[in-house]
A and B are shown apart, each in its own frame.
Chain A
Amino acid sequence: MSNITLTEDEKDVLQELMNVAYGNATAIVADMLDAFASLSIPNIKIMQTAELLNELHDLKGDSYFFSTQAFAGEFSGESAFFIDNESAQNLALHLELETDEDLQDAILELTNVLTSSLTTRLAKEMNTEVKFSLPSISKIPLNEMDQNDSFKEYSQVIVIDTQLNFEDQKINGEIFILTKDGSIEWLKNQLNNILEAMM
């Protein structure tokens, strides 16, 4: 796999960009949910896919909804959203959804909103454009996660822990932005451009 890693400086810039993008996403999610919702300040980590799989392995608890959405362009990859069952039920409650299908549709929408707005904004900050394909969803037991071959295609993962807070209930989720080596190189390049410009 890849040996490309980001330097501390590069990580700092990325974190900055993510914060901006995330602020944008928060506002959109609040709109979408038609409620006063706040997203906690994101905790952003960049890791190798193998590490991520290990981390997922350690997660206990019941099943998770796992939705993914591919994006294409100079910066390409796949974003994924993990939401635990309890949070999904909270979401259903909030949106007054009745059927499982409606719930899954809403999760996809949430995925789409979070990842699209995040990635679009991130791309915009880096002077590029991305195009999204349809998201897909699966409800999978975590222990089958590492059999998910699509994950292995990627080398680096940007992991964003999020927490949506409503008046009385919380929705916890985790967003992953999975990228391939080529994109990481591109990203590294762009981050350095920004770094230089700031100097």
Chain B
Amino acid sequence: MAEKSTQQYLRSNDVNEKLIASIDNGIIILDEELSIFYYNKWLEIHTQLKEVDVLNHKIDEVFTNINGKTLKRKIKTALRMETPTFYTATITKYLLPIKINQLKISGFKHMRQDVSVIPFDKEKRLVALIITDQTNVTNTNNLLQSNIKKVQDLNNELIKERETIDERVILLKIDTNNLITQTSRAYTDLLGFDKESIINNDYFYLERLQMPVALKEEIQKHQREKKVLKFEKVSLTSEGKEICLLSTLVPQYNQSAQHIGFIIFSENITNAKLLQEHQEKLLRNSRASAMGEMISMIAHQWRQPLSVINTIIATLKIKKELDILEDHLITSSYNRIEETVSFLSETIDDFRNFFKENKELKRVPMHIIFEKSNNLLRSEMEIYSILYEEDIDEKLLITTLQNELVQTIINILKNSVDAFKENPHDAQKLTVKSYESQTCITIEIEDNAGGIPKDILQKVFEPYFSTKSKNGTGLGLYVCKTIIEEHLKGQLTMRSRDNKTKTIIELPKNVVVS
């Protein structure tokens, strides 16, 4: 019974009107010329305009933001089609400018609206505009969109990072049974194996040939203790090439902190290793060659003093056999031998220091340098009748590495003596001069022992260049050049003209030796 009376009640009252009054939508009825015929409560509240104030006014005059032309088109089309046309919140945003006061919707000033333009009365050319508040939906949508964008960006980044890791990081994952569960492309590329042929293999089995027992034990110990281990190891590529890897073993856990295996990151240090070995070899080589050169130089510089000692001993022997050996000769010979032997040992020290830095400079009179040099050559010059002339101011002082300069002068003078032996004549003469200018001290040594042909002169400073078939090592002038130009920062030149050879040494007065 109750049901029936309710139904009657509903029929007798205008349900539609009641509903429309309380509906949560804006409803406007318009004609084709945009005049307002109906304006519901919802709109009155939201726009704060009373229906009486807007009736018969044109909607685009009440709300000046409305594009009348577009609205007219939509109305006309809706009436023509007999189906609705629309405004959408996503695009048009809103038709009626209704301010929103909700704090939580930060981005929008006005309510977002979907509007359906519904054909209402075809005869009277009326349409109903149904306005739905879409602010929350739009806002949620926007938030969603921007979050989707963020997620996408992050995802892209992640993918890229994953790719770079795969490409760059030499990586191997093994489970708790040491079975390989994952390899990076960098790993398979480096070693030249297929991923398939490695995955699920036992790590230690795979490495059995290249892993020393001690290293295996060390790794296993760290595995038991779940500790990080750094180790160096050689691996073989599929082509049998050796690759040196610096690897790090890191225990791996899953999200629930369960131990699931190990990651082995590696770094290819083959090139670094090779470089290191190469450099060590070079270093060894250069040390060896320096040592060799030093010994050759000492040997070269020993020849003159040794021959001096030989000569003295030979003289003693002969005099003894002839029984004309006098005591004072024994004494003087003995002294000279002693002197020369100490020169020999000094020479060793000099050449040991040859490649060292910070050698000790000495200030000495120039004529002393020549006296020391001549000590070893004087008798030879006498024997071969070489006239020796010296023009050196007694007061001329030089700051220099004395012994090295002496060795130089010995070599030069000895070359002249050698040349006279090859090419003897009546007027053999050796002239020595030294003088100073403002910045340097010059030494000139000249002989008339035949000179040097031009093509040979070009090569005399090269190590091991010698025209002397028997005893020449070709080191003499090379030693001179090294001492004068590299150690004393001077200049050594040779000229030859008219059977004469002139050697010129120019030394800076302010020496900074190296």
**A116-B84 Cα distance, complex, nearest whole Å:** 8
Point out the residue from A101, A116, A117 that lies within 8 Å of B92, measured CB to CB.
A101
> Quick one: CB contact mask for B194-206 with A, threshold 8 Å, 1 for yes?
0000000000000
Nearest A residue to B82 by beta-carbon distance? A120
Please report which residues of chain B, range 40-96, place their CB below 8 angstroms from some CB of chain A when the two chains form the complex: 67, 70, 73-74, 76-77, 80-88, 90-93
Interface size counted on chain A using CB atoms at 8 A: 20
Point out the residue from A34, A120, A134 that lies within 8 Å of B88, measured CB to CB.
A134
> Quick one: CB contact mask for A129-156 with B, threshold 8 Å, 1 for yes?
0001011110000000000000000000
CB distance from B121 to the nearest CB of A (A): 18
**A101-B83 Cα distance, complex, nearest whole Å:** 23
User: Is B404 close to A, CB under 8 A?
Assistant: no
Contact between A134 and B86, CB atoms less than 8 A apart: yes
> Quick one: CB contact mask for A18-54 with B, threshold 8 Å, 1 for yes?
0000000000100110100000000000000000000
Chain B's interface: helix, strand, loop or mixed, by majority?
mixed
CB distance from A132 to the nearest CB of B (A): 6
Contact between A135 and B77, CB atoms less than 8 A apart: no
Point out the residue from B74, B81, B92 that lies within 8 Å of A28, measured CB to CB.
B81
Contact between A105 and B92, CB atoms less than 8 A apart: yes
CB distance from A73 to the nearest CB of B (A): 12
Name the A residues within 8 Å of B114 (CB-CB).
Answer: 134
- Known contacts A32-B73, A32-B77, A134-B114: does B87 contact A105 (CB below 8 Å)? yes
> Quick one: CB contact mask for A97-116 with B, threshold 8 Å, 1 for yes?
00001101100110011001
CB distance from B358 to the nearest CB of A (A): 74
User: Is B116 close to A, CB under 8 A?
Assistant: yes
Point out the residue from B73, B81, B88 that lies within 8 Å of A135, measured CB to CB.
B88
Chain A's interface: helix, strand, loop or mixed, by majority?
helix
Contact between A32 and B83, CB atoms less than 8 A apart: no
CB distance from B352 to the nearest CB of A (A): 79
Contact between B81 and A136, CB atoms less than 8 A apart: no
Contact between A31 and B77, CB atoms less than 8 A apart: yes
Contact between B81 and A120, CB atoms less than 8 A apart: yes
CB distance from B97 to the nearest CB of A (A): 15
Contact between B83 and A120, CB atoms less than 8 A apart: yes
Contact between B92 and A109, CB atoms less than 8 A apart: no
Q: Which residue among B67, B82, B83, B116 has the maximum number of chain A CB atoms within 10 Å of its CB? A: B83
Contact between B90 and A136, CB atoms less than 8 A apart: yes
Contact between B74 and A109, CB atoms less than 8 A apart: yes
Name the B residues within 8 Å of A136 (CB-CB).
Answer: 88, 90
**A132-B81 Cα distance, complex, nearest whole Å:** 13
Contact between B77 and A113, CB atoms less than 8 A apart: yes
Name the A residues within 8 Å of B86 (CB-CB).
Answer: 108-109, 112, 134-135
**A36-B417 Cα distance, complex, nearest whole Å:** 122
Contact between B83 and A132, CB atoms less than 8 A apart: yes
> Quick one: CB contact mask for B238-269 with A, threshold 8 Å, 1 for yes?
00000000000000000000000000000000
Contact between B77 and A28, CB atoms less than 8 A apart: yes
**A112-B73 Cα distance, complex, nearest whole Å:** 13
CB distance from B433 to the nearest CB of A (A): 93
Contact between A31 and B70, CB atoms less than 8 A apart: no
Name the A residues within 8 Å of B81 (CB-CB).
Answer: 28, 113, 116-117, 120
Name the B residues within 8 Å of A134 (CB-CB).
Answer: 86, 88, 114, 116
Contact between A113 and B91, CB atoms less than 8 A apart: no
**A104-B91 Cα distance, complex, nearest whole Å:** 7
Contact between B76 and A31, CB atoms less than 8 A apart: yes
Name the B residues within 8 Å of A117 (CB-CB).
Answer: 81, 83
Point out the residue from A28, A32, A34, A105 that lies within 8 Å of B91, measured CB to CB.
A105
**A101-B93 Cα distance, complex, nearest whole Å:** 9
- Known contacts A109-B74, A134-B114, A134-B116: does B80 contact A32 (CB below 8 Å)? yes
Nearest B residue to A120 by beta-carbon distance? B83
Name the B residues within 8 Å of A116 (CB-CB).
Answer: 81, 83-84
Known contacts A104-B91, A120-B81, A134-B116; 5 further A-B pairs (Cβ under 8 A) = A105-B87, A108-B91, A112-B85, A135-B86, A137-B90
Which residues of B approach A to under 8 Å, CB–CB? 67, 70, 73-74, 76-77, 80-88, 90-93, 114, 116
User: What are 15 A-B pairs with beta-carbon distances under 8 A?
Assistant: A28-B81, A32-B73, A32-B77, A105-B88, A108-B86, A108-B91, A109-B77, A109-B86, A112-B86, A113-B85, A117-B81, A134-B88, A134-B114, A135-B86, A136-B88
Nearest 3 pairs of A and B residues by beta carbon: A116-B83, A32-B77, A104-B91
Which residues of A approach B to under 8 Å, CB–CB? 28, 31-32, 34, 101-102, 104-105, 108-109, 112-113, 116-117, 120, 132, 134-137
